[in-house]
């Protein structure tokens, strides 16, 4: 008889790893030695298990990598879902001791999917993509500080900071490009993405680094992961506004910017956008719809090698397939 899987809650903080084991618990320092201790305790259980931990803005990476190295199944889950689950259980307080037990209960009740082990190259690309976005945010903040009337010394200091950040942004962009070129599959995937009118090298890098599920899940799931799936808000006869929520902010932002180019130049998405606007949809609602349609087209292309890409430049004679929206799903 197969032993039931034990769901082990793991609460991660900057200094400690709080582990909820069957009939016991442990608080272990979060350092390389502590990671080895935690792995040893889990392996000593000699029973099928699944570790449940929350995404903590990057602090989980070290221990998750150690768990993957030891072939211990792990699920990195959305903290908001875990908190909502805790509230549903009547647990309004939040402490490390409570959190690790809630994670165990959440794992048993929800059975979250396992977090796949990324390759070392993919993990590095993901980290550099994140770093590029951080530099972009810092550069935008510095550019907003440029205004008339500043003392010359202050203006000079801001200008120097902008120049430095611009150079670093360029270096990081080159670094990402070089890393992608190291792998034939990633290079082919980037070319496949950039074949779509509206998707450039930056958007392609974000999708490769932060959306590894592309082509591996259905269109509804990929839209939800990117935060582009509209959710109902109905009750009885009332029909509320549909709205997007959650998802990966970095991916949604990249696709939103790609949609700005797609709705003006893509021979399929441009008429799709115009139809939505003609129906009275607001600019932002229509643009989000374009971003979602672009994403689902990319997802389909990754799953189906025979998927026909529509890449005719705007202004050229449109084929019947392009005019009808073939290859991008229904309007």
pLDDT of residue 63: 93
Distances (CA, A) of 70 to 40, 74, 90: 9, 11, 35
Among 223, 216, 331, 320, which residue's Cα sits nearest to residue 281? 331
Among 303, 294, 108, 35, which residue's Cα sits nearest to residue 189? 303
Q: How far apart are CA 173 and CA 255, in angstroms?
A: 18
Strands 74-77 and 49-54: parallel
Transcribe 166-230 into DSSP letters: HHHHHHHHHHHHHHHHT-HHHHHHHHHHHTSTT--HHHHHHHHHH-TTTTTS-HHHHHHHTT---
The CATH classification number of 6-110 equals 3.30.420.40
pLDDT over threshold 80, residue 283: yes
Is pLDDT larger for residue 89 or for residue 134? Answer: 134
pLDDT bracket for residue 240 (50, 70, 90): confident
Residue corresponding to tokens 């016991």: 24
pLDDT of residue 310: 54
Residue corresponding to tokens 């809650």: 9
- Average of per-residue pLDDT values in the chain: 86
Cβ–Cβ < 8 Å for 91, 98: yes
Transcribe 229-245 into DSSP letters: --B--EETTEE---B--
Among 170, 31, 173, 25, which residue's Cα sits nearest to residue 103? 25
Q: Which tens digits make up the pLDDT trace of 173-185? A: 999 999 999 999 9
Report the chain's C-alpha Rg in angstroms. 23
Distances (CA, A) of 147 to 15, 37, 136: 42, 54, 19
The domain spans of the chain are 6-110, 119-182, 194-331
Q: 210: phi > 0 → left, psi -120 to 50 → alpha, else beta; which? A: alpha
Strands 234-235 and 238-239: antiparallel
Cβ–Cβ < 8 Å for 228, 252: yes
pLDDT of residue 179: 95
pLDDT over threshold 70, residue 145: yes
What pTM was computed for the model? 0.79
């Amino acid at each position: 008889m197969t032993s039931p899987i034990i769901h082990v809650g793991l609460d991660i903080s900057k200094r400690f790893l709080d582990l909820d084991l069957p009939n016991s618990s442990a608080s272990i320092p979060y350092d390389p030695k502590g990671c080895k201790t935690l792995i040893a305790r889990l392996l000593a259980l000699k029973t099928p298990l699944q570790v449940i931990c929350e995404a903590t803005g990057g602090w989980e990476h070290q221990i998750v990598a150690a768990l993957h190295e030891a072939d211990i199944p792990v699920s990195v889950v959305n903290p908001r879902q875990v908190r909502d689950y805790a509230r549903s259980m009547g647990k309004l307080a939040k402490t490390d001791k409570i959190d690790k037990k809630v994670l165990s209960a959440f794992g048993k009740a929800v059975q979250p999917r396992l977090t796949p082990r990324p390759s070392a190259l993919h993990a590095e690309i993901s980290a550099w993509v994140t770093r590029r976005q951080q530099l972009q945010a810092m550069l935008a903040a510095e550019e907003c500080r440029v205004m008339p009337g500043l003392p010359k010394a202050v203006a000079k200091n801001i200008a120097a900071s902008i120049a430095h950040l611009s150079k670093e942004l360029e270096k990081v962009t080159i670094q990402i490009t070089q890393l992608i070129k190291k792998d034939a599959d990633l290079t082919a995937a980037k070319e496949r993405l950039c074949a779509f009118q509206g998707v450039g090298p930056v958007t392609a890098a974000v999708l490769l680094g932060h959306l590894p599920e592309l082509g591996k899940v259905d269109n509804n799931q990929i839209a939800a992961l990117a935060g582009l799936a509209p959710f109902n808000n109905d009750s009885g006869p009332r029909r509320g506004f549909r709205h997007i929520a959650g998802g990966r902010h970095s991916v949604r932002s990249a696709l939103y910017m790609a949609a700005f180019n797609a709705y003006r130049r893509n021979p399929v998405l441009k008429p799709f956008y115009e139809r939505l606007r003609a129906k009275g949809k607001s600019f932002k609602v229509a643009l989000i719809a374009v971003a979602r349609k672009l994403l689902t087209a990319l997802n389909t292309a990754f799953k189906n090698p025979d998927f026909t890409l529509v890449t005719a430049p705007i202004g050229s004679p449109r084929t019947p397939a392009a005019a009808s929206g073939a290859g991008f799903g229904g309007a």
